[in-house]
Structure 1
Amino acid sequence: MSGLRDSLQQLRARLGPGPRSFLAWWSQALASWLPARWRVLLGLTRDRLLFQRDGEELRMAWQEGAQRHELARLPATVTGDDLRALLGTRLAELPRWWLLPAGSALRRRLLLPAAAADRLRDVVRFELDRQTPFRAEDVCFDARVLGRREDGQLETELVAVPRTGFDAELAQLGPLSAELAGADVADAEGLPLGVNLLPPEARASRQASGRGLHLALAAVALGALVLGAWLILDNRRAAADAFAAQVSGRAEQARRVSAQRQQLTDLVAGMTALNKARADRPTTVEVMDEVTRRLPDNTYLEKLSIEGDRLMLIGFSPEASGLVARLEGSPLWRSPALSGALQPDPRTRLDRFTLTAELVGTRNATPAAAPAPGDADGAGRD
């Protein structure tokens, strides 16, 4: 067994990994999903014509899957044209195999490593001289996998026939020998074992009837499938783009609503602050009432104006210089002062004055008592 492993490693190092077994498995797996009638139409089944030597005649059978149908007995001189005329196009174009009798081949069971599955025929070639009394050049051989053990090793069977007898039997088939796709060996029930003893260079490659058309139709179907998948994907992308645009529009609308809400919040806050400021500031009526109570009766106002926090009084009074003292101490304003010089009015013989003050009082403040006229006079005399 160690010598077999060494030979296998040498073979794999020289040949490298082969994709053919994987491609064959992959194609068979894909074909298994198709209906049986489609597999027959596309030439994906393993149907074949079997020929056996029976004296001076050839027995012809049709292998359909695991079933074998006997068709006819033919002379050994039958040709491909005779088969087409006899069977029709479909059966005549099936691969043609030579089926050897059950006892004509040497069969040996071998236990091989799992790595030998990819290159089974090449691995078995190294075992021919140890498993049979022949050299590889002297036999036509093949191998098949019987099963896989739990430890991963393969249970295989080597099938070999002497090349001299094989070539002699092959020559007796006449014109059909050049059209054979393979040579198999019958088991005890008359069904093929599943090996191909025909050398690769002598195998004829045949296609089922209309296979080119069928492959073209399969290619068209595959193209339609790809196109349909692409259209579905394109529709999904378009739907995703539309959804993204919708989400973007909703997000923009939400941002505008948020900005408007913020503006409304700021406006409400401003109005609240303005109302609070107005609530803290005395009203015009309160200011006029306070001014009326603090000015003497002989004083006349020409103008009273409130601009923001600034109070301005313009009028005539014989006691203009003492008005500042009368206005001081009010809770509604502060810093009363004369603005500019007093101007005597020759018509009224009164002094024209301009007074300013800064409003700081509150509406709820209790006005201070206005100074008495005597106090104002005393203050003026001082």
Structure 2
Amino acid sequence: MSGVRDTLQQFRARLGPGPRSFLAWWGQALATWLPARWRVLLGLTRDRLFFQHQGDELEMTWGEGTQRHVLARLPATTTPDDLRALLGSRLANLPRWWLVPPGMVLRRRMLLPAAAADRLRDVLRFELDRQTPFTANEACFDARVLGVREDGQLDVELAAVPKSAFAGGLGRLGALAGGLAGADVEDADGAPLGVNLLPEDARVARQAPQRGLHLTLAAVAVIALVFGAWAVLDNRRAAADVFAAQVESRADEARQVASRRQQLVDLVAGTATLNQTSAQRPTALEVMDDVTRRLPDNTYLEKLAIEGDRLTLIGFSPEASGLVARLQESPLWRNPALSGALQPDPRTRMDRFTLTAELLGKRDPANAGTQGGADAAGRD
């Protein structure tokens, strides 16, 4: 058995080093290609262990794609435990197949409708007694599709073995017959034909080793991915809330700035309007100067008030009734009139008067001269 172990060690070396960490396994699982050793561990490889009779021994070969590599020759008394101890935990999980000798199998090529592709085995069950001397209950059978013709028909090759001969050959495998995943046929070139003659109820489905651990790690990875996505989403929401608060704060500042700007515009407009209005009216000094020049010397004022465009004069004069005529010729106001009755003052022996007039805007000097000439002409 030392030569067998040496061969198996070489086989294990071809599978590559073991996994270093879960992250390495996860990264390689997402890749489009995987090392052979990983494909074996994850159950993603199509590699198989073939057993066939060689005299009183069993020849064990490794089927790697379309190639086969002889691993060892085992005694017919080898048990599954012996094989597992010999192969190790990794190689023992490769699916085991019986390679049926070509002389035991009846092969026929036949044409079937294209619709038979989805239910090929059921169709063969009805066609078996027409193509072979056996019925579906008397033979183990399977077929492979060789191609599709131009008219759409399927070119199919049927392989069938009588159940009695199949059971006899299977029995020569001894204790290893109970753990098979299938039974293929060796073609003329020594390669597997690509069929499975083993009845479905006798096939053993192989699972990847440490499947529970892998599923647990996958579940943990999915949970971590969901949690990470949720954390990213929550961070995005928090950032969005902060940004919205900043935008609202900037909007409030912008509104305040706009309000202050509007107040400033209103103030400037009001000031300009006030200045324009003030510029159109005579100043208080101009009014006082004109009043002083037009009132007689024996007239005294207690109050001179300018409220808007209204001029009010309150004082004492012995000629109070003639003051209206004196003030009518002024270009700074119009419609001078006494307000109320004259009140004699016994102390000063003058009449107390209240006189009001409506202030006018400033006039252009040329217009003022023209207007003054017109007023003089009218008086003449």
| Structure 2 residue 114 is matched with structure 1 residue 108 | no
Letter in 2 for 1:161: A
| Alignment-derived partner of residue 195 in structure 1 | 195
| Residues 149, 155 of structure 2: 8 Å contact kept | no
Tell me the CA shift for residue 123 of structure 1: 5.6
CA distance in 2, matches of 1:155, 1:336: 125
Tell me the CA shift for residue 56 of structure 1: 2.7
Tell me the CA shift for residue 369 of structure 1: 6.2
| Alignment-derived partner of residue 69 in structure 1 | 69
| Alignment-derived partner of residue 13 in structure 1 | none
| Residues 41, 211 of structure 1: 8 Å contact kept | no
Question: Once the two structures are superposed, what CA deviation does each residue of 1:86-105 show, in whole Å capped at 9, x if it has no partner?
Answer: 22222223221112234525
Identity of aligned residues (%): 69
Structure 1 residues 268 and 232: alpha-carbon distance in aligned structure 2, compared to 1, 3 A threshold = same
Letter in 2 for 1:91: L
Residues 295-304 or 190-199, more deviating: 190-199
Tell me the CA shift for residue 344 of structure 1: 0.8
Structure 1 residues 275 and 38: alpha-carbon distance in aligned structure 2, compared to 1, 3 A threshold = farther
Structure 1 residues 363 and 163: alpha-carbon distance in aligned structure 2, compared to 1, 3 A threshold = farther
Residues 282-291 or 317-326, more deviating: 317-326
Pairs within 5 Å for 1:33-52: 33=32, 35-36=34-35, 37-52=37-52
CA distance in 2, matches of 1:48, 1:42: 14
CA distance in 1, matches of 2:92, 2:359: 120
Tell me the CA shift for residue 80 of structure 1: 0.8
| Residues 282, 363 of structure 1: 8 Å contact kept | no
CA distance in 2, matches of 1:81, 1:138: 33
Letter in 2 for 1:285: L
| Residues 102, 187 of structure 1: 8 Å contact kept | yes
Show structure 1 runs of 5+ residues with no match. Answer: 1-29, 371-375, 377-382
Letter in 2 for 1:348: T
Letter in 2 for 1:108: R
| Residues 43, 211 of structure 1: 8 Å contact kept | no
Residues 36-45 or 303-312, more deviating: 36-45
RMSD: 3.4
3-state SS of paired residue (1:161): strand
CA distance in 2, matches of 1:118, 1:232: 46
Letter in 2 for 1:239: A
Tell me the CA shift for residue 144 of structure 1: 4.3
CA distance in 1, matches of 2:49, 2:296: 140
3-state SS of paired residue (2:39): helix
Tell me the CA shift for residue 304 of structure 1: 0.6
Tell me the CA shift for residue 125 of structure 1: 4.8
CA distance in 2, matches of 1:361, 1:89: 115
Structure 1 residues 260 and 38: alpha-carbon distance in aligned structure 2, compared to 1, 3 A threshold = farther
Residues 208-217 or 340-349, more deviating: 208-217
| Alignment-derived partner of residue 301 in structure 1 | 301
Structure 1 residues 329 and 159: alpha-carbon distance in aligned structure 2, compared to 1, 3 A threshold = farther
| Residues 39, 45 of structure 2: 8 Å contact kept | yes
Question: Once the two structures are superposed, what CA deviation does each residue of 1:275-328 show, in whole Å capped at 9, x if it has no partner?
Answer: 111111211111112222332232211111112222211111112223233333
| Alignment-derived partner of residue 140 in structure 2 | 140
3-state SS of paired residue (1:88): helix
CA distance in 2, matches of 1:352, 1:251: 65
CA distance in 1, matches of 2:148, 2:214: 36
Pairs within 5 Å for 1:151-170: 157-164=156-163, 165-170=165-170
Question: Once the two structures are superposed, what CA deviation does each residue of 1:145-193 show, in whole Å capped at 9, x if it has no partner?
Answer: 5567899x58564443134232332233222222111122234443333
| Residues 140, 198 of structure 1: 8 Å contact kept | yes
Letter in 2 for 1:205: A
CA distance in 2, matches of 1:148, 1:32: 33
3-state SS of paired residue (2:181): strand
Pairs within 5 Å for 1:1-382: 33=32, 35-36=34-35, 37-102=37-102, 104-108=105-109, 110=111, 113=114, 119-122=119-122, 125=125, 128=128, 134-144=134-144, 157-164=156-163, 165-328=165-328, 330-362=330-362, 364=364, 366=368
Show structure 2 runs of 5+ residues with no match. Answer: 1-28, 374-378
| Residues 146, 157 of structure 2: 8 Å contact kept | no
Tell me the CA shift for residue 111 of structure 1: 6.2
What is the TM-score normalised by the length of structure 1? 0.76
Letter in 2 for 1:35: L
CA distance in 2, matches of 1:120, 1:248: 69
Tell me the CA shift for residue 351 of structure 1: 0.7
Structure 1 residues 227 and 357: alpha-carbon distance in aligned structure 2, compared to 1, 3 A threshold = same
Structure 1 residues 311 and 80: alpha-carbon distance in aligned structure 2, compared to 1, 3 A threshold = same
CA distance in 2, matches of 1:67, 1:132: 31
| Residues 140, 161 of structure 1: 8 Å contact kept | yes
Structure 1 residues 331 and 168: alpha-carbon distance in aligned structure 2, compared to 1, 3 A threshold = farther
What is the count of residue pairs matched by the alignment?
A: 341
CA distance in 1, matches of 2:99, 2:290: 134
Letter in 1 for 2:107: L
| Residues 108, 158 of structure 1: 8 Å contact kept | yes
| Residues 31, 39 of structure 1: 8 Å contact kept | no
